[in-house]
Amino acid sequence: MLAFLTGATGFVGSHVARALSDQGADLRLLVRANSNLKNVEDIKAELVTGDLRDPASLEKGIAGCEVVFHVAADYRLWVRDPDEMYRSNVEGTRAILEAARKNRVRRVVYTSSVATMGFANGKPAEENSPVSLDNMIGPYKRSKFKAEQVAIEAARAGQDVVIVNPSTPVGECDIKPTPTGRIVVDFLKRKFPAYVDTGLNLVDVKECALGHISALEKGRTGERYILGGENLTLKQILDKLASITGLPSPTIRVPYVLALATGVVDEIVTGRIRGREPRATIDAVRMGRKKMFVSSAKAERELGWKRAPVDDALRRAADWFRANGYA
């Protein structure tokens, strides 16, 4: 099986590539001209230079492939030019699906996110939880929601597309790092003097990668599958990191209003004046008002998904960040 994969130089994508390679698949990986290839340098694969915003390069790369894993996404909680994020996440997804259709690809596995789900405090989100574009906070969530709709519409039109919605992956090789990885890095750097009352579902990135393959093999066309692990408050996550690393966990909880004020100041000073990505953003604080807890029951029933504790993934993440000079 020849599989075309986007996002392989990134965090989740590199683990999907490695899992596919371990199972004997032949790989063709889309990389940009300026991509950091560290995450794929030990994976046997054909590298194709291209870009999600260059449809011709996608058609050339996908030609002859049996399946496509579209994992790549612009994942940032602050961006100076939101249109740039929409071009990559929405129009890039549209271009991938069109190229796959033209090349008669058997199946496309599209990596969405639980960010597109409907969240209400007190009940974990499911694939059928009520949600609309109006519920999406910030360019990242809105662009992923729109991209997911593109994938769903393609499936309704007859294309074989399966959608996976990872929760919040954690583990090694988070090269950027992602916003979640920055939580670990900031903790290691002792830049977590306090916490807010929020929560996330963490999933081991290695298990998440295997879930992609299960979606290829067992998923139903047009369906969404949440790939989740443990529902944890931010305080519980920090306590786990404290237990793993021996560093102290913060004991001061910051009220929402103070956290929002910090986000406003950081966006103005760091983002607009200094032109760098803020550590605290208004959108991140707004998202944190609801705990992003999810249920993976559907994936368990249909894909054979098994929820796993994330302690080992957090330990691997901390070790990798330290070994690679992030902290």
Q: CA 190 to CA 173: how far, in whole Å?
A: 21
> Which letter, b or e, does each residue of 225-256 get, where b requires 16 or more Cβ atoms within 10 Å of its Cβ?
bbbbbbbbbbbebbebbeebbeeebbeeebee
Cα 123 to the center of its chain, rounded Å:
22
Q: CA 163 to CA 221: how far, in whole Å?
A: 8
Per the document, the length of the chain is 327
Position with higher pLDDT, 52 vs 269:
52
As given in the structure block, the two tokens for residue 310 are: 């994330």
Q: What are phi and psi of 51, to 5 degrees?
A: -155, 145
The DSSP line for 212-273 is HHHHHHHPPTT-EEEE--EEEEHHHHHHHHHHHH-PPPP-EEPPHHHHHHHHHHHIIIIIII
Query: Residue 92: how many CB atoms within 10 A of its CB?
Result: 25
Q: Are 51 and 26 in contact (CB under 8 A)?
A: no
pLDDT of residue 252: 85
Average pLDDT over residues 162-174: 97
Average pLDDT over residues 304-321: 97
pLDDT of residue 307: 93
Q: Are 150 and 86 in contact (CB under 8 A)?
A: no
Q: Three-state SS for 131?
A: coil
Average pLDDT over residues 97-108: 98
Task: Map tokens 């699906």 to a residue.
Answer: 97
Average pLDDT over residues 146-158: 98
pLDDT of residue 265: 47
Average pLDDT over residues 163-170: 97
Q: CA 314 to CA 180: how far, in whole Å?
A: 11
pLDDT of residue 288: 58
Percentage of the chain with pLDDT > 90?
A: 76
pLDDT of residue 260: 42
Q: CA 216 to CA 36: how far, in whole Å?
A: 27
Position with higher pLDDT, 60 vs 285:
60
Q: CA 212 to CA 126: how far, in whole Å?
A: 18
pLDDT-wise least confident of 15-24, 221-230, 245-254: 245-254
As given in the structure block, the two tokens for residue 186 are: 């900031």
As given in the structure block, the two tokens for residue 46 are: 């054909």
Q: How confident is the model at residue 74 (pLDDT cuts 50, 70, 90)?
A: confident
Average pLDDT, the chain: 90
At 183-223, the pLDDT tens digits run 999 999 998 888 888 899 999 999 999 999 999 999 999 99
Average pLDDT over residues 266-277: 56
**Domain extents in the chain:** 2-170+204-229+293-308
Q: CA 122 to CA 207: how far, in whole Å?
A: 26
pLDDT at 254 over 60: yes
Number of H helices, E strands in the chain: 12, 12
Domain 2-170+204-229+293-308 top-level CATH class: alpha beta
Q: What are phi and psi of 202, to 5 degrees?
A: -100, 140
pLDDT-wise least confident of 30-34, 45-49, 279-283: 279-283
As given in the structure block, the two tokens for residue 246 are: 């021996």
Please state, in angstroms and as integers, the Cα–Cα distance from residue 41 to each residue in 2, 44, 219, 228, following that order. 19, 8, 30, 28
pTM to 2 decimal places:
0.91
Q: How confident is the model at residue 264 (pLDDT cuts 50, 70, 90)?
A: very low
Nearest to 191 by CA among 266, 138, 131: 266
